[in-house]
A = this chain, B = another copy of it.
Amino acid sequence: MLAPISWRVPPRHYGPWELVVSRLTEGLVARGVDVTLFATADSVTSARLEAVCPRPLAEDPTLDAKVWEGLHIGNAFERSRDADILHNHYDFLPLTYSGLVKTPIVMTIHGFSSTKILPVYERYAKRVRYVAISAADRAPRLPYAATIHHGIPFEEYPLGRGEGGYLLSFGRIHPDKGTAEAIDVARHAGLPLVIAGIVHDEAYFAREIAPHVDGERVRYVGSVDRTAGATLLGGAVALVHLVNFAEPFGLAMVEAMATGTPVIATPRGSVPEVVDDGVTGVIVRDPAEAATAVPRAAMLDRAAVRAQACVRFSRERMVDEYLDLYRKILAGEA
């Protein structure tokens, strides 16, 4: 399992790719699979940890990213001779090493940062089995072995009662994520808004978010760890998720649904695949419509929200699907 090294596995707070790697790895180990995890040296796992990079690149600016990503990827490929499958979660650079080993390679494509990186995926399309994390994120020109939605450990997300009485914006603070739109929705709905997440765009935060933060109608609680996040999610009336980009997979939506909190979202990126409209949330045409959807979302049965999410987005389902893919590859069927 080749993880990114921007953050620890699992991440201390932010780090969605590393979080998925952790959940898949722990799920596989729980099934008795022999897994070696290539990640930062401070990672925590029940798999065998192999590390060359001492600390997360995003937490230590003295580390030269190109140096450590090269060493990290090279090390994983050197050791891959002993593996049945090499599973890459580290963006596109490892593809360029893939022609040099015989080990079958699976790659979960966590997102395309730019269309400029497509030539690498095209070049190695016959060598590597690609997995999309949503139908929405499939690049039309690439062949995929499977689409596997992320799954989460539901035991870490207890059912909440929405007792906080607030709407929630949960995720990095960036125009893409629609944080400012969530502030509008809360104002129109007459409910307080809690914002949680790392500031990804400082200028946007200063201009569009900070002036509205008054500690009452709009509260900013920073980036929270997963335990605090689960509590925060469970206390919300609804998650307001008005992304302004084709998000590859909205993990925050699944986490909210796990705690019984319904999602209000526009049908962009993975939203139509993740939210069951009228069951686990309300899909609205545009942000202007979102405020009017709050009462409908609040009336959804929270236990039913969680139950449906559990059927579709449990870690066990994700692990099953990856195991199935691994078996097909080893049997020469994928």
Contacts and interface: CB of A to CB of B under 8 A. Distances in A.
Given A64-B114, A116-B64, A117-B64, A71 B100 contact: no
Contacts of A95: 70, 74
A71 B96 contact: yes
A99 interface: yes
Contacts of A74: 95-100
A99 B96 CA distance: 14
A96 B73 contact: yes
Contacts of A70: 92-93, 95-96, 120
A176 interface: no
A71 B123 contact: yes
B116 A67 contact: yes
Contact of A101 (B92, B100, B114, B116): B100
Copies in the complex: 2
Give the interface SS of chain A, mostly helix, strand, loop or mixed: helix
Given A66-B93, A114-B64, A71 B101 contact: no
Contact of A67 (B62, B66, B92): B92
Interface in A73-114: 73-74, 77-78, 92-93, 95-101, 114
A140 interface: no
Given A67-B119, A70-B93, A70-B95, 13 more contacts: A52-B123, A64-B114, A64-B117, A67-B117, A67-B120, A70-B92, A70-B120, A71-B96, A74-B95, A74-B98, A78-B100, A97-B100, A100-B101
A66 B94 CA distance: 12
Contacts of A116: 62-64, 67
Q: Which 9 A-B pairs have the closest CB atoms?
A: A74-B96, A100-B100, A70-B96, A64-B116, A78-B99, A70-B93, A67-B117, A77-B100, A67-B120
Nearest to A63: B116
Interface residues of A, number: 27
Contacts of A52: 123
A62 B115 CA distance: 11
A170 to B, nearest CB: 31
A116 B68 CA distance: 10
Contacts of A99: 74, 77-78
Most buried by B among A70, A71, A99, A123: A70
Contacts of A64: 114, 116-117
A138 to B, nearest CB: 20
Given A66-B93, A100-B97, A114-B64, A119 B71 contact: yes
Nearest to A119: B67
Contacts of A92: 67, 70
Contacts of A71: 96, 119-120, 123
